[in-house]
Amino acid sequence: MKKTLKKIISLALVAVMACSCAALAGCDGGKGEKVKIGIGLYQDQGPAVTATRAFLDGISEELNCEFTYVTLSQTDEAANKTAAQQLISSGCKGMILTMDSATEAILQECEKAGVYLGGYLSDYETSFDKVKNNPNFVGTVVDGRYSGTQWGEEIAERIINEGYKNIGMIKFPSFAFPHQNEMDTAFRAKIEEYNKTAADADKITVQAETTELMFQPLSADYFSANPDIDAIYGMCAGVDFIYPTLTQNNKTNIKLYTAGFSVDDSVLSNFGTSGNGCFQELVFSNVEAITYPLVMILNKIDGEEFSDNPSEAQRVDSSQIRITNNEELDTVKEKSMYYTGKFENSFLSASDVSALLAKNGGTHEDLVKAVQSMAMEDLEAK
């Protein structure tokens, strides 16, 4: 009886091995001369991942590319280097990574193997100055705008217009997200400017010291420390870190202006005037922005160069979709690939991307323009 059991287990092991073998063999597919590009995302799930994959799937045929995905760690450089190495080892000619982590070490590997690296939705804050002249680094496209000033001002204007008087301020620690300081400063400056001219009753109170979240949900004592707030400017990802605390403490009457987006109905059904109306602003970056590093890498691989190629690697802003009211939300639901996860909703078609390649006559200016013309008005115009 025991012996049979052992045999069964051995057989099972062999079977598992064999199955995985077969599965793997299936994975290989037609190789041809497709160019292999590795994509390292710091999330392994979620709408951004789905949309990125959908976009790359949609354009892979036209560009004759094949994409391999790995998940990066947000905190562990060694793990990220291993992931990058494995991409190189599996034959990738280029890599697009969303984390600026161990970048210098990874670039050394790239130099050894002749692989190109590009950044995606990341400003490469820590390493950019050191790597921008590295021939294997093609530049990065930022998650929205590099500077936070503009958005801070925009939110301040909305708040002034919509008449909220007591504003809570929440952000991530500045060691991790330095640009949220700019939003903070810009917001406060704008409000102060308004307060100078406003009647006493209309003056806006802003939380004196911005609360920093250590990547943990807001704690309930926030409400006892700031009892009277009627709106929160959440510079950090408020969907995951602020909203849960609001619902749990029945504070959804507080309006939330925050970065980030969710395709989840629990968020969207409470946006603007619908549901509890807690969410007033959501912002996300378009996954199509990956076109920038991708095109730059493909140019390098092709051995082509833009006529107006910049002398050093660039940090390019991308346009963001700001959702400020229900109509805009409906537009997003209808037309944005980020929400639908369907390639047909993409800003750029496969041939659009292909046309941007240097060998097809594209220019750097076109490329930058392409990733910067994907804002709300562009979506509405689509």
Q: Does 44 bind other proteins (CB under 8 A)?
A: yes
Considering only 34, 60, 77, 194, the residue that binds other proteins (CB under 8 A) is 77
Q: For residue 27, which amino acid is it? A: C
Q: Does 57 bind other proteins (CB under 8 A)?
A: no
**Cα(366)–Cα(94) distance, rounded to whole angstroms?**
22
Q: Does 53 bind other proteins (CB under 8 A)?
A: no
Task: Lay out the site mask for other proteins across 189-228 (x = CB under 8 A, - = otherwise).
Answer: ------------------------xxxxx-xxx-xxx---
Considering only 51, 56, 59, 88, the residue that binds other proteins (CB under 8 A) is 88
Neighbouring CB atoms inside 10 A of 290's CB total 25
Considering only 64, 112, 203, 310, the residue that binds other proteins (CB under 8 A) is 112
Q: Where are the alpha helices (DSSP H) in 221-311?
A: 221-225, 238-241, 243-248, 265-268, 291-302
143 Cβ partners below 8 Å, 6+ apart?
A: 121, 122, 123, 285, 318
Q: Does 7 bind other proteins (CB under 8 A)?
A: no
Sign for the CA dihedral angle at 313, 49, 112, 115 comes to: negative
Sign for the CA dihedral angle at 55, 267, 372, 126 comes to: negative
User: Minimum distance between the CB of residue 118 and other proteins, rounded to whole angstroms?
Assistant: 19
172: its two tokens: 């991530």
Which CB sits closer to other proteins, 264 or 305?
A: 264
User: Minimum distance between the CB of residue 120 and other proteins, rounded to whole angstroms?
Assistant: 17
Residue with tokens 């700031």: 226
Q: Does 149 bind other proteins (CB under 8 A)?
A: no
CA dihedral 148, 149, 154, 156 (to 10 degrees): 110
104 Cβ partners below 8 Å, 6+ apart?
A: 127, 130, 131
Q: Taking contact as CB under 8 A, which single stretch among the options 83-91, 157-165, 285-293, 321-329 is the one that binds other proteins?
A: 83-91
Q: Does 133 bind other proteins (CB under 8 A)?
A: no
- 36 neighbors 95 (Cβ within 8 angstroms): no
Q: Which of residues 299-318 bind other proteins (CB under 8 A)?
A: none
Which CB sits closer to other proteins, 123 or 154?
A: 123
R_g of the chain, CA atoms, integer Å: 24
Which CB sits closer to other proteins, 41 or 379?
A: 41
Residues that contact other proteins, how many (by CB under 8 A): 78
Considering only 57, 61, 62, 126, the residue that binds other proteins (CB under 8 A) is 126
Considering only 34, 60, 71, 157, the residue that binds other proteins (CB under 8 A) is 71
**Cα(69)–Cα(61) distance, rounded to whole angstroms?**
17
User: Which 3 state secondary structure label does DSSP give 24?
Assistant: helix
User: Minimum distance between the CB of residue 51 and other proteins, rounded to whole angstroms?
Assistant: 13
Q: Which of residues 319-358 bind other proteins (CB under 8 A)?
A: none
User: Minimum distance between the CB of residue 2 and other proteins, rounded to whole angstroms?
Assistant: 7
Which CB sits closer to other proteins, 221 or 344?
A: 221
For 281, list phi and psi in degrees, rounded to 5: -145, 135
Q: Find how far residue 111's CA is from the centre of its chain.
A: 27
For 211, list phi and psi in degrees, rounded to 5: -75, 130
Q: Taking contact as CB under 8 A, which single stretch among the options 99-107, 155-163, 193-201, 253-261 is the one that binds other proteins?
A: 99-107
Q: Which of residues 171-190 bind other proteins (CB under 8 A)?
A: 173-176
Q: Does 21 bind other proteins (CB under 8 A)?
A: yes
